Every structure is written in structure tokens, then in C-alpha cells.
Amino acid sequence: MITAKLNDYRQSPRKVRLVTSLVRGKSVEAALNALFVLEKRAADPIKTLIDSAVANAKNNFSIERDALFIKDFRVDAGPILYRRMPRARGTAYPIKKRTSHVTLVLAAKEVAAKKPVKAAKKAAK
């Protein structure tokens, strides 16, 4: 398993999950092409994360980019930064600035050896 992590990304997990669910299960090339045209703020950090995971696969496992696909993309909640907004009569309303932990798992495509149909039928007889 080839993994890469992005911790404490300063955007809500709900918004980041929209981007990750778009590319989950796709090949690396298809995912990067989809993120290139996507107009969401989380698209750029996710592209960088995929590139990092591809570099990990090449350096650590000698797996080429063409043989990889996105097996799992998890977005978990990170620490919440609590802030206050001043309101009328000296009160304060809370503001929650949410963060995300993003985990990416890549896997190599398995190339199955296909037998010709005629040869399989002859072997069955």
C-alpha cells in the first residue's frame, strides 16, 4: 500500500469530501485530469497529495504512474480552532474554524492474463 497524508488542512472536511469522492477509484491520470478542471479550493492540495503519493510509489516501490489507481481517500476531522465574533450588548458568538486530515491510499492495477476463449473451450473438452 502506498500512502500519503495531508494533516491539519484548513478547510472543512465536508467540503474536502466533495473533491475526494469525485476521484476515488479512478486511475491517477484520470484523477489528476478531473482535478485540473475542478473549480474547488481543495482541488490544488489534493493534486499535490496525489503527486506526493506517486513519488512515494516510484521511489519506494518502483511502481510507475500508469499502473496506479486511487484505492482509498479518507477525510477525517482535524482539530477545530475556536474563535469569537463580537455581537450586540457585549456578547460573543462562537466561530468554529474546522480542519481536515486527508489520507490517500494508492494501489497498483493487476494485469490479468487473459486466455483466448477458443483455447479455454478446448481445454474444457
Return the domain boundaries, the chain.
Answer: 2-124
DSSP one-letter code for 47: H
Model pLDDT for residues 20-42, shown as the tens digit of each residue: 999 999 999 999 999 999 999 99
- pTM across the whole model: 0.83
pLDDT in tens, 58-79: 999 999 999 999 999 999 999 9
CA distance 99 to 16: 10
Residue 118 has a pLDDT of 62
Let me know: does 94 contact 46? Beta carbons within 8 Å.
no
What topology does CATH give the domain 2-124?
A: Ribosomal Protein L22; Chain A (3.90.470)
8 Å CB contact between 73 and 24: yes
Query: Is 42 in contact with 19 (CB distance < 8 Å)?
Result: yes
Residue 113: pLDDT over 50 = no
Element (H, E) at 81: strand 81-86
Q: What percent of the chain clears pLDDT 70, i.e. is strictly above it?
A: 88
